[in-house]
A and B are shown apart, each in its own frame.
Chain A
């Protein structure tokens, strides 16, 4: 993701805007999860907020680095920079985005597992990052593991929808399915640059659904307990 060498030329710049948009939406989810955590003191809400904060940071970094790359490429047209530095910056951007995104997904998976043990979480982190450290196919593995975790999260939201059938649970389920499909496309983006574009649009659709869901929640949540004292 964010690899200028797999991005179609016409898509330069659009990806930066899309990633910023994803960052804003995921930051909003993180912010409201944290606000609701402060009222309810429910541990899962704190973890959920942290998960989305990591995901938001991953998009912010990706967006900033892609913007820097875009700027440098403009310079390169004038023959002023070394393409190797752009390549390294691009690689750094991919790793930073994928690692932060992966940590966010690992926290979501931990919430979905419903095993309230820090040791389980540490084990998950160690397994994933040691596999990445020793693998010669780091980029592929980063996206492959992200896709696997998203698959698990999709299953979790499928059971959530099954147990609680309503519009908002369906929206979240569809959003997670779209993210999952989007990430399958990112795995193959090095083969064909159109997969990179399709992956981004899948993500866009997913995050729009997440935003709609958040707006529905906030609207419904406006109704207060009629006799409650105002803070």
Chain B
């Protein structure tokens, strides 16, 4: 059985999806890339905006998300975060 994807990895996947789409992504793409339910995705997006990893942009009726510097920092340090939390059992 495949190991359950942990929270930190889900956050990484969302941020990476934004990054890979030239830092401007629609919610539908996040939903597709992150492989989450719509409700779960909304919860994660809310958390990521609260933590200031993402910002929401409005262009007419279109809504997109972009990474902030904190979001980039998370992507850069993801390996360190994952290693630390894994080995000390902090997930």
Contacts and interface: CB of A to CB of B under 8 A. Distances in A.
Interface residues of B, number: 26
A214 B72 CA distance: 24
B76 A172 contact: no
SS of B interface (majority) = helix
B89 A45 contact: no
Q: Which of B19, B78, B79, B88 is the most central at the interface, judged by chain A CB atoms within 10 Å of its CB?
A: B88
A168 interface: yes
Contact of A166 (B8, B51, B80, B86): B86
A45 B87 contact: no
A228 B81 CA distance: 15
Contacts, number: 94
Contact of A217 (B69, B72, B87): B87
A59 B70 CA distance: 35
A177 to B, nearest CB: 14
Given A225-B78, A231-B76, A111 B90 contact: yes
Contacts of B16: 225
A164 B85 contact: no
Given A42-B8, A111-B90, A157-B89, A224 B76 contact: yes
Interface of A: 32-33, 36, 39-42, 44-45, 48, 111-112, 156-157, 160, 164, 166, 168-169, 171-172, 213, 216-218, 220-225, 227-231
